[in-house]
């Protein structure tokens, strides 16, 4: 007799991305890339640079609208009451975790939860969860400003990426935790780099060695940007990345099992059907329910005639 291989449940997605949802995500992604990187792409002789101080606010307002469109589109793809409840619980938990390490060498435990949630619940749910968690945490910590939409978008990308990792149905155990830890390490640096890019071009008081220079070749500005990241945020990004790896390797297995158990019990993908109620049967003429005589005769008891 051969041993039966371990059974792995098919990955349950709280939100299945349809064509419209994927198109909306692609649109907000394209606008986000333009919002983060437009200073490198704008012609120095154009009038765009004359409005460089207005650009963060304009892109922030546009990103808010687009993120709302994405959330509404994904909700049409099946974000039911159970998924909304889980979204609220996870977003509240992530928002509560963020202040625990804020201001301490970049230690932010919420990134660990976002990686695991995106892995279990998929890219669509992950994007909405990342954006909503960052919004809720900003309200909690008083961090609302023109940078918030960029943080929401970057965290949405961070959590969405975890949902796109390979092997959601097959990979389990140590291999899965190592994969998530590696992703969390790289993505933590990517998040910090993207957020640096959102504000770096508008900091005119920087020294010339790391300052953005409109009109200079893209390669030279990128070198200055990398120097700026190393000088200002490398320590913070490293702390975030290391904490994400440590929490994923130590607590990841327990949290993954809890999330998967919750998704199975919620039965996100179970079809909901409304059926007409079955009318009660009419009682017999003598007040005896239909079929009582047959059951009594089968038991050897007179039918009462």
Of 286 and 229, which is predicted with more confidence?
Answer: 229
**Mean pLDDT, the chain, integer:** 75
pLDDT over 50 (residue 47): no
Among 32, 51, 45, smallest CA distance to 214 is for 45
Q: Residue 6: which pLDDT band, with cuts at 50, 70 and 90?
A: very low
Token pair listed for 63: 């990103």
Q: Over the stretch 137-162, which tens digit does the pLDDT of each residue have?
A: 888 887 777 778 888 889 999 999 99
pLDDT score recorded for residue 246: 95
Report how far residue 303's alpha carbon sits from residue 305's, in angstroms, rounded to the nearest whole number: 6
175-185 mean pLDDT:
94
Among 33, 41, 124, 52, smallest CA distance to 87 is for 124
Q: Residue 3: which pLDDT band, with cuts at 50, 70 and 90?
A: very low
For residue 49, what is the DSSP state?
G
245-266 mean pLDDT:
89
pLDDT score recorded for residue 102: 60
pLDDT over 70 (residue 178): yes
Yes or no: say if 285 and 143 are a contact pair by the CB < 8 Å rule.
no
pLDDT over 60 (residue 4): no
186-201 mean pLDDT:
87
Report how far residue 206's alpha carbon sits from residue 300's, in angstroms, rounded to the nearest whole number: 100
Contacts 24+ apart (CB under 8 A), 60-63: 60/146, 60/147, 60/148, 60/149, 60/150, 61/149, 62/31, 62/35, 63/28, 63/31, 63/32, 63/35, 63/149, 63/150, 63/152, 63/153
pLDDT score recorded for residue 5: 46
pLDDT score recorded for residue 84: 79
79-83 mean pLDDT:
70
- Per CATH, the number for 19-43+55-266 is 1.10.1760.20
pLDDT over 50 (residue 58): yes
Yes or no: say if 244 and 184 are a contact pair by the CB < 8 Å rule.
yes
69-78 mean pLDDT:
62
Yes or no: say if 232 and 196 are a contact pair by the CB < 8 Å rule.
yes
Among 188, 115, 204, 154, smallest CA distance to 37 is for 154
pLDDT score recorded for residue 189: 93
pLDDT score recorded for residue 262: 85
Token pair listed for 34: 């333009």
Yes or no: say if 129 and 26 are a contact pair by the CB < 8 Å rule.
no
Q: What percent of the chain has pLDDT over 70?
A: 63
pLDDT score recorded for residue 15: 61
Sign of CA dihedral 281, 284, 288, 294: negative
pLDDT score recorded for residue 16: 64
Helices (H), strands (E): how many in the chain? 10, 0
Token pair listed for 121: 């619940």
Domain range annotation of the chain = 19-43+55-266
Least confidently predicted of 24-33, 110-119, 232-241, 252-261: 24-33
Model pTM? 0.73
Q: Over the stretch 197-239, which tens digit does the pLDDT of each residue have?
A: 877 777 765 567 777 777 777 788 888 888 888 888 888 899 8
């Amino acid at each position: 007799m051969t041993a039966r291989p371990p059974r792995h449940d098919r990955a349950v997605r709280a939100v299945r991305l349809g064509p419209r949802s994927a198109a909306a995500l692609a649109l907000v992604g394209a606008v986000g890339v333009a919002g983060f990187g437009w200073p490198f792409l704008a012609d120095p002789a154009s009038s765009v640079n004359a409005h460089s101080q207005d650009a963060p606010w304009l892109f922030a307002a546009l990103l808010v609208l687009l993120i709302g469109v994405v959330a509404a589109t994904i909700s049409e793809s099946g974000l039911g009451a159970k998924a909304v409840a889980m979204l609220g619980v996870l977003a509240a938990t992530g928002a509560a975790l963020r202040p625990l390490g804020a201001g301490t060498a970049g230690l932010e435990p919420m990134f660990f939860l976002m990686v695991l949630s995106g892995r279990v619940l998929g890219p669509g749910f992950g994007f909405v969860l990342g954006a909503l968690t960052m919004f809720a945490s900003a309200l909690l910590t008083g961090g609302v400003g023109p940078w918030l939409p960029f943080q929401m978008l970057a965290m949405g990308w961070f959590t969405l990426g975890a949902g796109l990792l390979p092997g959601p149905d097959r990979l389990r155990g140590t291999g899965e935790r190592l994969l998530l830890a590696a992703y969390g390490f790289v993505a933590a640096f990517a998040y910090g780099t993207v957020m640096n890019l959102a504000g770096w071009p508008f900091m005119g008081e920087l020294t010339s060695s790391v300052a953005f220079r409109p009109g200079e070749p893209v390669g030279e500005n990128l070198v200055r940007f990398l120097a700026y990241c190393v000088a200002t945020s490398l320590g913070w990004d490293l702390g975030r990345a290391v904490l994400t790896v440590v929490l994923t390797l130590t607590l990841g297995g327990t949290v993954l099992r809890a999330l998967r158990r919750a998704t199975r019990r919620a039965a996100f993908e179970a079809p909901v059907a409304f059926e007409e109620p079955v009318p009660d049967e009419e009682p017999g003429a003598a007040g005896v329910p239909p079929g009582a005589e047959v059951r009594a005769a089968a038991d050897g008891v007179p039918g009462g005639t």
